[in-house]
Structure 1
Amino acid sequence: MGGAFLAAAVLARLGGRIGLPTIPLFILAGILLGPHTPGYTLLSNPHDLEMLSALGLVLLLFYLGLEFHLDDLKTGGRKMAIAGGTYLVLNVGAGLGFGFALGWGTSEALVLAGVLGISSSAIVTKILVDLKRIGNPETRPILGIIVVEDVFLALYLAALQPILSGADSLSAMLVDGGKAFGFLLLLALAARFGTRIIGKLMNTKDDELLVISFLGAAVFVAGISEMFGVADAIGAFMVGLMLGSTASGERILKLVHPLRDAFGAIFFFAFGLSIDPGDLPSVFWPVVAAVVLTLAMNVAAGLAASRVYDFGTQATANIATTLVARGEFALILATMAAAAGLDKRLSPFIAGYVLLLAVLAPLAAGRSHWLARILPGPRGGGDGGSDGHGGGGKDGDKDQKQVPVSV
């Protein structure tokens, strides 16, 4: 664990001197010190960091929930649903078509629909924080699209699992989907009506007790979520959503910040451990084609979202480039595909696709003003002063609360 932290820190510091984002460098550290590359192997079994990696993902999404207040859902629900639904139709539909075009099989195509269609909540969150865009007007639609994606993902995984496991009962499939949907509904009701009670339970002047309380709540609900077929990250997000609206919300935001940064780095490092570079050449051209398709669909989705919210070209470019990243959910699908005995080319394809976009997404988001120059639409309208620039320095969160935004 210490070696993982230090390796990620050293590479990130070196890359920061030449302006590289931290996410792909954390992943690169995992690749270089993993069991699939020559030289020193820090961890021969990537599963040794599995629990720490899961905690990193939980904390990243918990932090996102703290930032995404219930007022945003109340005031922007319809627009959020339209923007998120459009994003899913374009990207999941393109992924399904791409899967059938590869000719690897129907089950494989259904897996690829999710791989190409769902953004990485963890990487998107990290990009927004690093580039100091939490307070930008277009950030709320971005987070709204992620919420819609996460709800879709819970239902998608519940429906896909029986197909991959060869379930021959429609009733079993409906039961699994119903459990996931029911638990999501329960969390949503708790977030909507239970905030006052939860706030009283969390209220304490002692920072130590507050840290233990919110960390326990986030991890516990994440674990329960998995039992009901809902991604653990969604459970953590909902807890953050509840606590962000309480009187302790601001204190929790500050206290969870260092935990999020530390274990988020472990999440990306552990992802790098799972990648075998030797498998990538065999799927090079399918990966390149999938990346080009994803970039095109994200630009189309960004244009559609900007029409809904009446944004200008810079905000459109920010939306399109920030949501490009694919990550943790694609890895979940890769694990499910391997367990189901699907085409062996799926795992290296997903690894190469995710790694390439993990590198491209932060770079593209930081240079979104290049894309804005060629996009159709008003040049300044609705951008809220966002210029597409922003640093990834250690103080990236200091100004994130200065601009109150309503969807």
Structure 2
Amino acid sequence: MTHLPPLILDLGLILGAAGFTTLIFKKLKQPLVLGYIIAGLLVGPHFSLFPSIVETENITIWAEIGVIFLLFSLGLEFSFKKLVKVGGSSSIIALTEVVVMLALGYMSGKFLGWSTMDSIFLGGILSISSTTIIIRAFDELGVKTQRFAGLVFGVLIVEDLVAILLMVLLSTLAVSQQFAGTEMLYAVLKLAFFLVVWFLAGIFIVPTLLKKASKLMNDETLLIVSIALCLLMVILAAQVGFSPALGAFIMGSILAETTKAEKIEHLVASVKDLFGAIFFVSVGMLINPETIITYAGPIALITVVTLVGKVVSVTGGGLMAGQGMKTSIQAGMSVSQIGEFSFIIATLGLTLNVTSDFLYPVAVAVSAITTFTTPYMIRFSGPLHQSIEKILPNRWKSSINEYSSGAQAITTTSDWKLVLRSYAINLVVYSVIMISIAVLGARFVRPFISENLINGVWGDIISVGILLIFMAPFLWALAVHHPQKEAQGRIWANRNFRSLIIVLVFVRIGIAILFIELLLNQFFSVGTSVAVGLVIVALLVVFSKRIQNFYIRIENRFMANLNAREISEASKMHHSIVPWDAHLVSFDISASSAAVGATLFDLQIRERFGFNVAVIERGDRTIVAPTRNERIFPGDKIYVFGSDDEIEAFRNFIETAETSYANQDPDKEDITLQKLVVSSKSGLRNKTVRESGIREKTKGLIVGIEKNGERILNPDSGLRFEEGDILWIVGSPSRIKLLESGKTEKAEFQL
């Protein structure tokens, strides 16, 4: 009989059990992750009814590969560009949730008498919600078009990055076994440094590589190249002391900025599903049913802490971010579970041998319970909001509405803020780049030249010359480049501020010279470094024009790669008038839509659904405030402004499955929701909506008016403006600003 390696037997047993439970859980309409965990429990060493795994060590290797592909896939859905666009509200909510749940998890562990390390890891496990489970629940419940869903997606994006940071901090803490502030700070700075380096280098190199080789790539080669890039970053992350999973996540986020992102995500999906299933089955194999029975009390307590803590923390964060009572409660009820990253953090504790054996099955049990409760929590968010509304004092509700409305007001950015922010960003980015070049030079360039070309002083001179060639564009950019020329010019026009601008210029030049000296000190004595530094500065001045052109080419290449793909996901357009429960949503018109071929007059959208079409995007053309005779064509993207119920009814009408992120080209005008206040000197006073000419002047549409405490959604064209009225307009910010008669005060346009 032919010998079959135990690894093949174990893999067949794992996939057979996973496939069987998958069919059952599909039939029951439950998350497949739970099915995989139960499959692992059945074939694990603690359950004797079925055949058990022979060599668990081999399965651990498969599970580690599963983690790598799981985080690679999460990185493809993440992208740093999406993080920048996520907005302050989601960041505030996510950080509030993480801090609160870390504290609650730690206190719960201490209350149960667990060790300090178990309590800390429990806090990390409870602080991250499950992206997979939430998205699946939103799909099944059909709420992806609602306003709170867009907010939740933003929270999940921030949580992904926080989870990576937690993995690094917990690893550092586990190794040091103490709360050493310097070590923790070093770990954070090291993570930030390598994140910047990998992101900048990755965006500059990877999209260019894929673009140059696109004609040679079919699906097979693209899959191989993508997995190769992932594993190379895994190796690099491990070499510098980080988790291999972090490298996979980073490469996924880099590839998410390329035009091939969706294709790669589709190709990798099957690989991710295969190894992901093995990982979750291995999670189930580590569960001892006796442990769960023994710790039934702590599991119940931690489950309650998770459900209540996440609802309260996210709701509180939403209110602080000005998102209104209803949206905040809905968001809080949606993220009340733990999932993928929680398993990975729990696995990290076991791998490092710093957590007790019972923590892992307890975390899995809590995840299973909260996963089952997630759809019901989302369904009950509406009734919960209504109940809270009934018991809240009117004064409190008025204060919340006023604060939420004010948080959506237009804010202006001063010239000083623009200049200082650009200087700070440039200082960080260019410093990281030049430090990286210097470190690589000291570790690789100098030894290579000394061993293979020439040793001694001339070897040092050649090494310095090579490194300075690579550093020169960034030295010039740090010392001379002005990314905010217009803002700095306006500041310079004020004589009182010229001395400060001159000081900033000299500071930048001084920092650039300091980097030159730091590089030279690695090769020469102090006196020689100063003399050589002066010569180098003179050469940089002489060749400034060429260096500038070289830097501009580098910057253009980087920005072209960064903006090559506009992210497209559901429910991006979540600008809203918070107290009104109304928001701006985009719909893609498919060829089979009932709206195709009809004019807006024929569709009678306002009469049937209660709102107007604010914008139509057709290819490269943007039609703001379209007329009644505008016809709808396949491929159009239309923007409407209304409540959740109105938008849901409209979605069903046009047969569009989901909204998507606006695919904004650089030539297109941004479409946002703007707040304007009618002042005593406004030319709009005592004019009707029709007479004001706002539609013609701004190419915008008035979607709401606050008048004497009353809120009027989609006002009639005969409504007359009065002093103190607050107008909400959907349109281009640059055109709306043309109505401004003076400088913006208190974050409102005084018309």
Relative to the length of structure 2, the TM-score reads 0.46
The alpha carbon displacement at 1:315 in A equals 7.5
Following the alignment from structure 2 to structure 1, what is the Cα–Cα distance between the partners of residues 281 and 117?
A: 29
Aligned pairs (5 A) from 1:288-307: 288-307=300-319
Structure 1 residue aligned with 2:156: 143
Q: Is the 8 A contact 1:46 1:274 kept in 2?
A: no
1:220 corresponds, among 221, 232, 239, to 232
The alpha carbon displacement at 1:306 in A equals 3.6
1:200 corresponds, among 211, 220, 227, to 211
Structure 2 residue aligned with 1:68: 78
Structure 1 residue aligned with 2:244: 232
Amino acid at match of 1:86: T
Amino acid at match of 2:194: F
Structure 2 residue aligned with 1:403: 660
Following the alignment from structure 2 to structure 1, what is the Cα–Cα distance between the partners of residues 201 and 27?
A: 45
Q: Does 1:152 align with 2:152?
A: no
Following the alignment from structure 1 to structure 2, what is the Cα–Cα distance between the partners of residues 282 and 331?
A: 19
**Counterparts in 2 of 1:173 and 1:94: CA distance versus 1, 3 Å:** closer
**Most deviating of 222-231 and 281-290:** 222-231
The alpha carbon displacement at 1:304 in A equals 3.6
Amino acid at match of 2:660: V
Structure 1 residue aligned with 2:115: 105
Q: Does 1:335 align with 2:350?
A: yes
Per-residue CA deviations over 1:70-90 (Å, capped at 9, x if unaligned) read: 442222354443222111111
**Most deviating of 348-357 and 4-13:** 348-357
**Most deviating of 203-212 and 222-231:** 222-231
Question: Gapped runs of 5+ residues in structure 1?
Answer: 388-398
Q: Secondary structure at the match of 1:374?
A: helix
Q: Does 1:271 align with 2:283?
A: yes
Aligned pairs (5 A) from 1:75-94: 75-76=85-86, 78-94=88-104
Q: Is the 8 A contact 1:142 1:323 kept in 2?
A: no
Which of 1 and 2 has greater Rg? Answer: 2
Following the alignment from structure 2 to structure 1, what is the Cα–Cα distance between the partners of residues 269 and 22?
A: 18
Q: Secondary structure at the match of 2:380?
A: helix
Structure 1 residue aligned with 2:606: none
**Counterparts in 2 of 1:401 and 1:382: CA distance versus 1, 3 Å:** closer
Aligned pairs (5 A) from 1:7-86: 7-76=17-86, 78-86=88-96
Q: Does 1:3 align with 2:13?
A: yes
The alpha carbon displacement at 1:353 in A equals 2.9
Q: Is the 8 A contact 2:230 2:248 kept in 1?
A: yes
Per-residue CA deviations over 1:253-283 (Å, capped at 9, x if unaligned) read: 2211222222221111111011111122222
Structure 2 residue aligned with 1:396: none
Amino acid at match of 1:321: S
Q: Secondary structure at the match of 2:384?
A: coil
Q: Secondary structure at the match of 2:53?
A: coil
The alpha carbon displacement at 1:98 in A equals 1.5
Per-residue CA deviations over 1:175-225 (Å, capped at 9, x if unaligned) read: 555544432332333455555435436634311111001011123313432
**Counterparts in 2 of 1:33 and 1:369: CA distance versus 1, 3 Å:** same
**Most deviating of 132-141 and 43-52:** 132-141
Q: Does 1:347 align with 2:357?
A: yes
Following the alignment from structure 1 to structure 2, what is the Cα–Cα distance between the partners of residues 311 and 16?
A: 36
Following the alignment from structure 1 to structure 2, what is the Cα–Cα distance between the partners of residues 193 and 379?
A: 44
Amino acid at match of 2:226: F
Question: Gapped runs of 5+ residues in structure 2?
Answer: 1-10, 390-578, 586-642, 646-655, 664-671, 673-751
Amino acid at match of 1:108: D
Q: Is the 8 A contact 2:68 2:244 kept in 1?
A: yes
Q: Judging by fraction of residues, say which structure has more strand.
A: 2
Q: Does 1:280 align with 2:287?
A: no
Amino acid at match of 1:128: I
Structure 1 residue aligned with 2:382: 372
Following the alignment from structure 1 to structure 2, what is the Cα–Cα distance between the partners of residues 95 and 52?
A: 30
Q: Is the 8 A contact 1:154 1:229 kept in 2?
A: no
Q: Secondary structure at the match of 1:3?
A: helix
Following the alignment from structure 1 to structure 2, what is the Cα–Cα distance between the partners of residues 400 and 278?
A: 45
Structure 2 residue aligned with 1:124: 131
Following the alignment from structure 2 to structure 1, what is the Cα–Cα distance between the partners of residues 659 and 271?
A: 23
Q: Secondary structure at the match of 2:250?
A: helix
Q: Is the 8 A contact 1:321 1:368 kept in 2?
A: yes
Per-residue CA deviations over 1:139-172 (Å, capped at 9, x if unaligned) read: 53133232342243144224312333x79x8766
1:185 corresponds, among 172, 192, 196, to 196
Q: Is the 8 A contact 1:21 1:363 kept in 2?
A: no
The alpha carbon displacement at 1:42 in A equals 3.0
1:325 corresponds, among 338, 341, 353, to 338
Amino acid at match of 2:364: V
Larger relative CO (CA 8 A, sep 6+): 1 or 2?
1
Following the alignment from structure 2 to structure 1, what is the Cα–Cα distance between the partners of residues 231 and 87?
A: 27
Structure 1 residue aligned with 2:743: none
Amino acid at match of 1:125: T
Structure 1 residue aligned with 2:222: 210
Q: Secondary structure at the match of 1:262?
A: helix
Q: Is the 8 A contact 2:96 2:314 kept in 1?
A: no
**Counterparts in 2 of 1:152 and 1:197: CA distance versus 1, 3 Å:** same
Q: Is the 8 A contact 1:56 1:267 kept in 2?
A: yes
**Counterparts in 2 of 1:41 and 1:352: CA distance versus 1, 3 Å:** farther
**Counterparts in 2 of 1:33 and 1:255: CA distance versus 1, 3 Å:** same
Following the alignment from structure 1 to structure 2, what is the Cα–Cα distance between the partners of residues 206 and 131?
A: 34
The alpha carbon displacement at 1:117 in A equals 2.6
Relative to the length of structure 1, the TM-score reads 0.81
